[in-house]
Structure 1
C-alpha cells in the first residue's frame, strides 16, 4: 500500500477524455477525490479503485 498525501500529483493508467493524465489528490480517506490538472474535473472513487488505477506518483506534495 502506497502512502498518498493531499496535493500529490498522480498519473492514472487510463487517460481522461479531456486528454489529461495527471490528477491532484484533494481528499484522502475511505474515498479519494482527485482533480484533473488539465480540465479541473473532480472525481471521487473508493480507495481500492484509486490505488488500482494509479500508475505512478508524478510529484509529491511539498517537494
Structure 2
C-alpha cells in the first residue's frame, strides 16, 4: 500500500475537472479533514472534503515550486 501524499499550505495542485473560469490549478489554503483551495485563475475559494480532494488531484508540485505555465 502506498503512503498517503502529504500536502502543505501554499502548495499548488492541478485537479482533474476545470473550474468554470477554465483553470485547473489551485493553491492549498487549509489542510485537515477539509481542504481549502483558491483558484489561480479567478481567485475563487472553495472547501472540499479530504477524500474528494485526494481523488480529484491529478498533479501536485513540491511546496515552494512554481508550476510551468
TM-score of the aligned structures, taking structure 2 as reference length: 0.84
In structure 2, stretches of 5+ residues that fail to align are none
- Give the paired residue count: 62
Runs of 4+ in structure 1 displaced over 4 angstroms?
none
Residues 3-44 of structure 1, C-alpha deviation per residue, up to 9 Å, x if partnerless? Answer: 100000000001111011100000000000000001000010
Considering Cα pairs closer than 8 Å and 6+ residues apart, tell me whether 1 or 2 has the greater RCO.
1
| Equivalent pair of 1:22/1:37 in contact (CA under 8 Å) | yes
**Deviation of 1:61 (Å):** 2.1
Cα RMSD, aligned residues only:
0.9
Query: 1:3 matched to which residue of 2?
Result: 6
Query: 1:62 matched to which residue of 2?
Result: 64
In structure 1, stretches of 5+ residues that fail to align are none
Structure that is richer in strand per residue: 1
TM-score of the aligned structures, taking structure 1 as reference length: 0.92
**Deviation of 1:62 (Å):** 2.5
Q: State the structure with more CA Rg.
A: 2
